[in-house]
Amino acid sequence: MPTTTISTLEAWEALDSRGRPTVGCRVTLQGGGTGRVITPSGASTGDFEAIELRDCDDRYDGYGTRSAVDRLRGPISDALIGLDAGDQRSVDAAIEALDADPALSGIGGNSALGASLATLTAFADADRSPLWRVLDPSGVPLIPLPMVNIISGGAHAGRAIDIQDILVVPLGSSSFTEGIEWAARVRAATAALLTEQGGWAALVADEGGLSARLESNEAALALVTSGIERSGLRVGDDVAIAVDIAASQLVDGAGQIALRSEDIALTTEEWIARLADWVQHYPIVSVEDPLGDNDWDAWRGASARLASIQLLGDDLFATNVDRIEKGIAEAIANSVLIKPNQAGLVTRTADAVTTSRRGSYATVVSARSGDTEDSWLADLAVGWRAGQIKVGSTMRSERTSKWNRLLEIEATHDTQYAGRAALALS
């Protein structure tokens, strides 16, 4: 029997960074290799991602995951014990075979991802290889360009502003180490400006960004731009801005974009025009999910109007190969956010990266608002040569664990840095 044969699978209810239950899973191999993961969970979830299994009872306001744990201990464990952890496709196929729903609603996307990822990390342990090296056996490791949260709103910060995240991208940095320091410098400068304006910089959102009730969404863009200036870095050259709109959370019953913090609703045409104006007046190089996740016509218009920048699909694509292929065929967006728990399985996620790259779309590997202390996401971004990574801000340990892992890889290996070239810019 190979030493990489799965011998045991254990599972338990764990907590994510918001204090909500999630799933922990440990896979042990015949030769002693082990893999342990705790799965993340999103707040602004799209309609097309894998479905988490929740208990919906009186524990944790219904968010308990005992039912998901039971799936892991029962049918998933039964299906995986005896399989070779080195054959990830067979492992994931065995998990998929347990559920007729592509969204994995029967066994739970959280359960499926836990087993899939724990198997991958167990194999890396048995192989005595870094996780990224298992995914990229021969290449020089490519360290991704970071996209770092500075101000949060939307579902990540009690809707203090409508825009979900305003982030910085250290375009001019020569290494990840330099880039993450620049981002931390901008965050500190922005926090100081916020305090001077009468805000309270101690408020921290789900992903570690600043949270503040500002007079408008544009005021938040202006604040971060001023933060870049105050940090002593060059606006647009050293550091630029990325925006996550999370528009699926803003679409009202009439199909308009409702900016509740400003008490206005805009048609999609008016909204796209406003975004174009922001791009003209602020150093914005990336806009994520500017429109609803099923409004392909509006996305088509935005793709034409905002062709000069990175137009990033999250809820639109949901780390789903079929949806990504549709976007590529119709020239909608030009980049894809990659979230393993949207897909629910390692191989599904890897296929989404491959499909995006085949269509010349940029990829951004992303954490979730309810994340964990695990650092495997950093290794996935390196191993898949994604080029960009979006984790959160430069504080809170579930965020810094990923940044610290990338710092470690860059410091201890001969690496390449993706840098500005990773962005989808015309």
List residues with catalytic annotation.
207, 339
Q: What is the 3-state secondary structure (H, E, C) of 397-414?
A: HHHHHHHHHHHHHHHHCC
Residue with tokens 């993340």: 40
Q: Give the orientation angle of helix 296-305 with respect to helix 268-281, to 10 degrees.
A: 30
The tokens 């990923």 sit on which residue? 402
E strands, 200-302, are 210-211, 240-244, 257-259, 264-266, 284-288
CA distances from 177 to 5, 230, 238, 342 (A): 38, 21, 14, 29
What are residue 86's phi and psi, to 5 degrees? -75, -10
Torsion, Cα 73 79 84 86, to 10 degrees, reads -70
Separation between Cα atoms, residue 287 and residue 303, nearest integer Å: 11
**Euclidean distance between CA atoms 286 and 77, whole angstroms:** 41
Location of structure tokens 């590997």? 365
Q: What is the full DSSP assignment across 42-84?
A: -SS--TTSPPPP---SSGGGGT--HHHHHHIIIIIHHHHTTSB
CA distance 143 to 362: 15
3-class DSSP string for 105-122:
CCCCHHHHHHHHHHHHHH
Closest to 279 (Cα-Cα) out of 316, 307, 258, 298: 307
**What residue type is assigned to position 17 of the chain?**
S
120, 134 Cβ separation under 8 angstroms:
yes
* Rounded-to-integer distance, Cα 350 and Cα 144, Å: 16
DSSP label at residue 129: -
Taking the mean position of all CA atoms in its chain, how far away is CA 314?
9
The two beta strands, 142-143 and 210-211, are unpaired
